[in-house]
Amino acid sequence: MSPVLNEFMKKCIKVIEVELENAVQKLNTPERLKEAMLYSLQAGGKRLRPVLLMATLKAFNKEKKMGLSAACALEMIHTYSLIHDDLPSMDDDDLRRGKPTNHKVFGEAFAILAGDGLLTYSFQLIAEDESISPQTRMKLISLLAKCAGPEGMVGGQAADIEGENKSLGLEQLEYIHLHKTGKLLVFSVLAGAIIAGANEEELQQYERFAVNLGLAFQIQDDILDIEGDESKIGKPVGSDADNQKSTYPSILSLDGAKAKLAEHVSLAKDALKAAGHNAEFLIGITDLVAERDH
| From 161, 170, 241, 262, residue interacting with a second copy (rule: CB under 8 A) | 161
List the x/- string, 8-47, binding to a second copy by CB under 8 A. -------------------xxxx-xxx--x----------
Residue 239 found at the interface with a second copy (CB under 8 A): no
User: Under 8 Å CB-to-CB from 62, ≥6 apart: which residues?
Assistant: 192, 195, 196
Contacting a second copy within 108-147 (CB under 8 A) = 108-110, 112-113, 115-117, 119-121, 123-124, 127-128, 134-135, 137-138, 141-142, 144-146
Q: What's CA 172's distance to the chain center, in Å?
A: 20
**Shortest Cβ distance from residue 190 to a second copy (Å)?**
15
Task: Report the residue number, 121 or 248, with the smaller CB distance to a second copy.
Answer: 121
Residue 4 found at the interface with a second copy (CB under 8 A): no
Task: Report the residue number, 57 or 184, with the smaller CB distance to a second copy.
Answer: 184
Contacting a second copy within 167-206 (CB under 8 A) = none
Task: Report the residue number, 60 or 110, with the smaller CB distance to a second copy.
Answer: 110
| From 13, 15, 38, 158, residue interacting with a second copy (rule: CB under 8 A) | 158
Asked if 236 contacts 219 with a C-beta cutoff of 8 angstroms, the reply is no
- One-letter amino acid at 270 equals D
Contacting a second copy within 77-106 (CB under 8 A) = 80, 84, 87, 89-90
Contact residues for a second copy (CB under 8 A)?
27-30, 32-34, 37, 80, 84, 87, 89-90, 107-110, 112-113, 115-117, 119-121, 123-124, 127-128, 134-135, 137-138, 141-142, 144-146, 148-151, 154-155, 157-159, 161-162
